Chain A
């Protein structure tokens, strides 16, 4: 374990020795996407990055339902992750979400809408400012961003908008895990006559009000988002507060 940590440190140091912007030392995009240079420029703002297998993105190779592609981002093998940006090269809206694991693991499970087959990536920014990029390819029939939400065809969500259900596990194999679901149509704005309407911020705090994780959420996150994260060896209640792009807010207490 210590050897692994030392190796990781050495690797990280090697990475730092590479001047930002020199593509040859970083290696080619492991996913071979023709869009990668654009991604680096626009989403990573041209900042230093390295492809890094320690940032794991898990999703099905073949996603049956483009409206609901399960994604698990695990950057816990990296030290001191400040921020994780998740995006899809070929989605009409590139950014999916961004999370700041302030006092949680750098781990997040959720679902995403994909418009077509695409690399699905996570870039984890460590304390030294370098983005560590991992990803996987997802094949799908597509259309996930331009199909209406189920919510847009019923009125149930209007009554239950921003309703949160959640559970926290404090023992057993899932000890430390928190899962929450928020009712929201997450309309992308890409369908004529249905404006963008989506959650944009969610913060989880512990009982004392200390922030655990902050999320910035964009349109491609699936309808009625479900998030899975780890708060580690803390128990007690949680506070979940958020708002959507129309200014609707919520602030709930999740009892243990």
Chain B
């Protein structure tokens, strides 16, 4: 009985923690003047409020560059407060690496500064943003209160980008979505890879084109091999000092697409593919079973269409 009461009390106190809608964002310094808010390697829910993503900021001589704005208005505001505790310099630019909701739904909190992204990301947010937001209201609940879609208006292009006296480089890649921006900070050697790289968390694939994604990973890998990159910031999971997260993201994608291709060639139907066990090496990978299920839905129809197209119909 005593134990039960203790357990109940524990539940109540956890609920109370969630009810204050405080993401408890603590910036992690990954290089001089470069900070990352590392999210949980979980799925969206009403306890984490969508804080499952990495965002970050760079303090340039004249101001701050923000990389992704998080999953909600509250997150964006709390992020801005946390930035203000580090520096009193103004935010000069907030960047959305791609059009997934955990990376741009904090834009409202930065609507007084230029919001920048690749052109394709602006189109994606404009067309799919509301549906994404609705979905996050459903999964994260009241954490989302007041959140509305704000489409970035400053178009960023591949190449050098100087902001506030800091030299950055924009990489316009794709494969995780139709347009994935990676940002390299020349001064510190920090590479913000966005969701092209997941670290110890199964990758998500709702808009993935796997072959393109693998090509983008090659590009990032080459950058790391070149020696200029000192810190790799993945879109999800811990910050890394080496290319291991790139290799592990590639490993998952190659296994996933290879396994689905094989299943389609063998003639398995979707329920049979869903029932296949994950390889032993992914047993401990966070959210692997859920992401596998989703990826079957995202990727199998196209792969299966190709496999059936190899048949002989006249």
Contact = CB atoms under 8 A, between A and B. Distances in A.
Interface of A: 58-60, 64-65, 68, 70-72, 109, 111, 141, 164-169, 172-174, 177, 179-181, 224, 226, 228, 252-256
A166 B270 contact: no
Given A167-B311, A252-B314, A70 B294 contact: no
A255 B312 contact: yes
A111 B312 contact: no
B163 interface: no
Given A109-B269, A167-B267, A68 B311 contact: no
A60 B293 contact: yes
B167 interface: no
B135 interface: yes
A64 B294 CA distance: 6
A59 to B, nearest CB: 7
B138 to A, nearest CB: 6
A22 B272 CA distance: 38
B227 interface: no
B311 A165 contact: yes
Contacts of A177: 267
5 closest A-B pairs by beta carbon, nearest first, are: A70-B270, A167-B311, A255-B312, A109-B269, A165-B308
A64 B297 contact: yes
For B269, B271, B314, the residue with the greatest tally of chain A CB atoms inside 10 Å of its CB is: B269
B304 A226 contact: yes
B297 A65 contact: yes
A255 B271 contact: no
B139 to A, nearest CB: 9
A179 B269 contact: yes
A72 B273 CA distance: 12
A256 to B, nearest CB: 8
B313 A165 contact: yes
Contact of A165 (B266, B270, B271, B309): B309
B271 A58 contact: yes
B51 to A, nearest CB: 21
A167 B309 CA distance: 8
Nearest to A183: B305
A70 B293 CA distance: 12
A160 to B, nearest CB: 11
B267 A180 contact: no
Nearest to A147: B131
8 contacts: A59-B271, A111-B270, A165-B308, A181-B305, A254-B311, A254-B312, A254-B313, A256-B312
Given A60-B293, A68-B297, A226-B269, 12 more contacts: A58-B271, A64-B294, A70-B274, A165-B305, A165-B308, A166-B308, A167-B311, A168-B311, A179-B267, A224-B305, A252-B313, A252-B314
